[in-house]
Structure 1
Amino acid sequence: MSTPSAQTDSFVRDRLPPREQWPEFRYDLPELQIPDQANVATTLLGDAIAKGWGNRLMLRAPGETYTYAEASAQVNRIAEMLIKDYKLEPGNRVLLRGGNSIGMALAWLGVVKAGLIAVATMPLLRAVELDKIIDKSRPALAICDVDLLKEMVPAAQDAKTLLPILVFGDAARPDGMEARAARRSADWAGCATAADDVALLAFTSGTTGVPKAVITTHRDVLAACNAWPRSVLKATPDDVVTGSPPLAFTFGLGGLLLFPTAAGASVYYPDVRFSPETMVRKMRDNGITICYTAPTFYRQMAPYAKALGIPSLRICVSAGEALPDATRQLWKESTGIEMLDGIGGTEVFHIYISAAGADVRPGSIGKVVPGYQAKVVDDNDNEVPRGTVGRLAMIGPTGCRYMDDARQTHYVSKGWNHPGDAFTQDEDGYFHYQARDDDMIITAGYNVGAPEVEDCLLTHPAVAECGVIGKSDEVRGMIIKAFVVLRAGHNANEAMAEALQEYVKKHIAPYKYPREVEFVTALPRTETGKLQRFKLRQEK
């Protein structure tokens, strides 16, 4: 760190992995070279004002709007209030709990501007799950939406040191965030953080055990804002952005707050209670031009988008799980828009392989984003020939640093990040997703990626959703099993199972067909819409 840290609380810095376990960071492009003193909130909001965007709308929600100037002033008030009312010091962690709202966005920016470390949590987490995050991150304060106090209060009381709670979302509350902030300065300068000071701890959506906390610096975030959004997304100040991923998820934090702010665009946060139909209506009625969500939700929105129309929409970003070609095609038929796919991850903050417009190739996620490098390797980290299935490895301006976690060496090897995905790369440099490493099914000597079978099943007119896993088998080692949610009007019976099996045999290699089909009413998914195959494996 060439500029001394402004964070006097060194709790997180003291729990960085050893330097030899870090990935290599590369800043090969001029726009990725961040000044040694930088703060995400100060930089993004300051640049917006300097570019003359002060009177443009930044944040929108039903019945509420903030211009860039208004948001900047409120962030300053919140930041000063946190330092002076709560006697917090730079480097303290602040747990954030809220759905996607203007209040949550302003609170996040205020925390970071004050030199504090944001620890945002998914809105659906229960107290027992919050306990683990609190125990690992040791926050000095929790900032919580008034509607989410039910789980927050017992978690705060269970903390090793009683955790104070600052409530937002109730402007009439005299001790709430809004009232306290109103008594502070709109011009507070904030904390002069070093670029390598920590901006956030992002907790991964792990399947078991203690959650992993990813250490993300101001430099990481600002470099990410200048990578994929600038070279692939190319948002403009005239764009209006919306979507479903939570701000507690780095896909949502980037797409629905930081990247639009960097572009001078505005974000619309719909009410937290929305269905596929109401989301389409909100997009149409609010002139949405860019949407972020997971493939499953695009599939659910497609019939409503086709019937109602969203004339303003121009870019649809899909991430969080593999994008089936059937979903891509369905959305294009419904809206005329070719979806923008991408792969990223909490460990590296956001998307690093993607393609847009004429560069899109069905069946491929895309090419490596400028500023990043990626390759497909074998178990010894040797690059494999083009077209050969292997493990993805990537390197660039962002990378994985787990806080106080032995699993760091599972993710980083020889300076490269290994996200745990199986890929191939073709002769033109396009990357083709196969499966998560643990979702590859080896059946009778054949390697089969679960997403490929799911993609095929989703093209059948009777299938609404599906999930595919490998099931142990004495003869074949593993067999392919499919869990299927049928569309209304179709019967879950043996004849339907056989019809689906024959359909797969006809459309892809016959050895890839599911030897078992189980009909279910719903599939287990994370709060961000990602299919939880590990739960299907537990149920098999």
Structure 2
Amino acid sequence: MQTDPGGNDGRDAHEQLHQAWRWQVPPDFNLAHACCTRWAASGRNAIRWEDEAGASGRLSYAGLDAQARAFAAALARRGVQRGERVAIVLAQRPETAVALMGCAMLGAVAMPLSVLFGPEALVWRLADSGAVAAVADDATIAQLLALRGDCPALALIVGVGAAESAADLGWRALLADGLPGFAPVDTTADDAALLIYTSGTTGPPKGALIPHRALLGNLPGFVCSQNGFAGDAVFWSPADWAWTGGLMDALLPTLYFGREIVGFRGRFQPERAFELMQRHGVTHSFLFPTALKAMMKAVPEPRSRYELKLQALMSAGEAVGDAVFGWCRDALGVPVNEMFGQTEMNYIVGNCALSVDADGRVVPGWPARPGSMGRAYPGHRIAVLDDEGRECAPGVPGDVALHRLDRHGDPDPVFFLGYWRNEAATRAKYTGDPAASWCRSGDTAVMDADGYLWYQGRSDDVFKAAGYRIGPSEIENCLVKHPAVANAAVVPKPDAERGAVVKAYVVLAAGVQGDEALVGELQQHVRARLAPYEYPKEIEFIEALPMTTTGKLQRRVLRLQEEDRARARLQQ
């Protein structure tokens, strides 16, 4: 089918796709079987990988399956039980996929953690989850060894690559110790597969427990946002495989369909991204708006410099904007399909230039409206709710919510199981009858008469900065631990390049003088303990923070102040 450069011939198949889609979730389902074992005899390649040092290689589905079985068998020999948590502190490398698949084969719960985490971020997640084992490379092995005294359940640390000699056990020795002929356990679709910690505004990060079936719930959105994901697709995204964006939007769905994914271990750079896409013949990708903006500025006319095979592009994390939308369409030659979701219920809203019908034919999806989050993907029933749980009229802002049942009355498999050891937070996420209720996203939007959603902001104080989801509480807690800080509040400061940057308002301890040297010291204090993207790019010292009469911090006052200042700067 020939389409215009916008990726849609003008027809709107949204309603047709929703009417035709019916969930088919088997009672027994396992990520490892779906993503590697069933492809092991296909002869296909699963992962192409390379790093900044120039090393590269490939891992076939047969190799992925064999190594995952050895990983599961070796952990089982060391007493790791079904349902126990195994931390995977690795970047985009083959061992990450092997460990994820091995955990699923064992029936353990994989807990992916970013290599960017500092010691405080790591120790909270490891201790709270009760992780019994961890896999890490040289980026984090020293931190894990240093903090294990605060994690009493952590009995085994496995080292990968240069970290093999420092760890309790090296990766190669672990796999060699795996019993041949290991038989993966059977799991139900509702069994827990992943534990992903997500930042919040109050208290420490919460662990979202994700079942095996959630991957199936992601698939309609993935296929739609990737324009059908047909043919011999090669996928690449710089999104970290430790996050929902890299794991559930890139790695796992690509493996589910038996295609190849490129793993690159290194820093994102615009020219390097184009070179990588050209070298590997990347056909499908997920790129944050921040990355797209950098690529647009660095290489305005990419097709004059690179031979690209890009067929589909998804973006999420913040609004793409008209300029980037037009550049993707005109300069890259593909429309960008914006998407919205969150760890607890991912890939639920977005755009779709092209889709695939029941016979496997590529057909029109629905036209994108630049600036819109898109519409509900097939299988998901979306509404905008007010504070009382009533659906808002078109044009009225409210909380984006997903119903447990789709329009046909079938259970939607995309939902998380709940927050780890936090039943109160789980209950607060839902509105209505537990069996047939709405799950609130915490994001405010307006729905127009055609079902397109237009983002308004966070209902709470979590925000996105350069594509990362930032929870102010963890940063504030870190700042307050510094002896010079009496209190702190963290809010987003609007930024043309990154959407927002992290800004901290700091009340100093008695007798402390605020100056540039202290700003740098506080920034380094956070950098050393959390993730690099969480440190405040700007710090403002103030006498007192805005509080309610009951003593609750009013971050909204500071957030609005930053927005007012941004508007004033534009008018100058």
Give 1:157 deviation, angstroms.
Answer: 2.6
Give 1:312 deviation, angstroms.
Answer: 0.9
1:36 is matched with 27
Out of 397, 402, 409, the residue aligned to residue 413 of structure 2 is 397
Question: How is 1:517-532 mapped onto 2 (pairs within 5 angstroms)?
Answer: none
Out of 153, 162, 168, the residue aligned to residue 160 of structure 2 is 168
Residue type matched to 2:134 in 1? Answer: A
Question: In the TM superposition, what whole-angstrom CA distance separates every residue of 1:213-261 from its partner, at most 9, and x where no partner exists?
Answer: 111111222x224332244432235111111111111111023311101
Question: How is 1:253-268 mapped onto 2 (pairs within 5 angstroms)?
Answer: 253-268=247-262
Matched-pair contact (CA < 8 Å) for 1:320–1:528? no
How high is the TM-score relative to the length of structure 2? 0.70
Matched-pair contact (CA < 8 Å) for 2:31–2:104? yes
Matched-pair contact (CA < 8 Å) for 1:239–1:265? yes
The number of residues matched between the two structures is 440
Question: How is 1:413-424 mapped onto 2 (pairs within 5 angstroms)?
Answer: 413-414=431-432, 415-424=437-446
For structure 1, the residue ranges without an aligned partner over 5 or more in a row are: 1-26, 441-449, 459-466, 468-479, 488-521
- How far apart in 2 are the matches of 1:329 and 1:226? 27
Question: In the TM superposition, what whole-angstrom CA distance separates every residue of 1:363-401 from its partner, at most 9, and x where no partner exists?
Answer: 222111111100112111111211222221112322241
Distance 1:346 1:98, change over 3 A: same
1:473 is matched with none
1:227 is matched with 220
Give 1:310 deviation, angstroms.
Answer: 4.8
- How far apart in 2 are the matches of 1:297 and 1:273? 12
Matched-pair contact (CA < 8 Å) for 2:115–2:139? no
Give 1:439 deviation, angstroms.
Answer: 6.8
Give 1:31 deviation, angstroms.
Answer: 6.1
Matched residue SS, 1:32: coil
Question: How is 1:115-514 mapped onto 2 (pairs within 5 angstroms)?
Answer: 115-170=107-162, 175-185=169-179, 187-207=181-201, 209-221=203-215, 223-233=216-226, 234-236=228-230, 238-305=232-299, 306-307=301-302, 308-348=305-345, 350-357=346-353, 358-395=366-403, 396-400=412-416, 401-405=418-422, 406-414=424-432, 415-438=437-460, 483-484=494-495
Matched-pair contact (CA < 8 Å) for 1:97–1:142? yes
Question: In the TM superposition, what whole-angstrom CA distance separates every residue of 1:113-154 from its partner, at most 9, and x where no partner exists?
Answer: 111001111111111111111121001111112332132222
Give 1:362 deviation, angstroms.
Answer: 1.4
Matched residue SS, 1:146: coil
Residue type matched to 1:324 in 2? Answer: G
Distance 1:535 1:367, change over 3 A: farther
Matched-pair contact (CA < 8 Å) for 2:32–2:105? yes
- How far apart in 1 are the matches of 2:492 and 2:268? 32
Residue type matched to 1:389 in 2? Answer: P
- How far apart in 1 are the matches of 2:152 and 2:164? 31
Matched-pair contact (CA < 8 Å) for 1:242–1:269? yes
Mapped pair 1:106 → 2:123: no
- How far apart in 2 are the matches of 1:66 and 1:100? 13
Give 1:186 deviation, angstroms.
Answer: 5.5
Residue type matched to 1:224 in 2? Answer: G
Residue type matched to 1:404 in 2? Answer: R
Question: In the TM superposition, what whole-angstrom CA distance separates every residue of 1:248-301 from its partner, at most 9, and x where no partner exists?
Answer: 111110233111011221010113233222122111221111121211111111
- How far apart in 2 are the matches of 1:171 and 1:421? 41
Distance 1:128 1:431, change over 3 A: same
Matched-pair contact (CA < 8 Å) for 1:331–1:337? yes
- How far apart in 2 are the matches of 1:258 and 1:193? 17
- How far apart in 2 are the matches of 1:76 and 1:29? 38
Residue type matched to 1:334 in 2? Answer: A
C-alpha RMSD of the superposition: 3.5
For structure 2, the residue ranges without an aligned partner over 5 or more in a row are: 1-17, 51-55, 354-365, 404-411, 471-490, 499-522, 541-554, 563-572
- How far apart in 1 are the matches of 2:233 and 2:375? 25
Question: How is 1:49-64 mapped onto 2 (pairs within 5 angstroms)?
Answer: 49=40, 54-62=42-50, 63-64=56-57
Matched residue SS, 1:47: helix
Residue type matched to 1:156 in 2? Answer: R
Distance 1:346 1:330, change over 3 A: same
Matched residue SS, 2:110: strand
- How far apart in 1 are the matches of 2:316 and 2:276? 21
- How far apart in 2 are the matches of 1:289 and 1:220? 25
2:69 is matched with 76
Matched-pair contact (CA < 8 Å) for 2:192–2:209? yes
- How far apart in 2 are the matches of 1:168 and 1:184? 16
Matched-pair contact (CA < 8 Å) for 2:189–2:213? yes
- How far apart in 2 are the matches of 1:435 and 1:380? 19
- How far apart in 2 are the matches of 1:436 and 1:531? 20
Residue type matched to 1:341 in 2? Answer: E
- How far apart in 2 are the matches of 1:176 and 1:426? 55
Distance 1:171 1:160, change over 3 A: closer
Distance 1:439 1:183, change over 3 A: closer
Question: In the TM superposition, what whole-angstrom CA distance separates every residue of 1:382-431 from its partner, at most 9, and x where no partner exists?
Answer: 11211222221112322241122222233211121111111111222212
Give 1:28 deviation, angstroms.
Answer: 10
Distance 1:398 1:225, change over 3 A: closer
1:509 is matched with none
Distance 1:256 1:413, change over 3 A: same
Matched-pair contact (CA < 8 Å) for 1:235–1:265? no
How high is the TM-score relative to the length of structure 1? 0.74
- How far apart in 2 are the matches of 1:166 and 1:145? 8
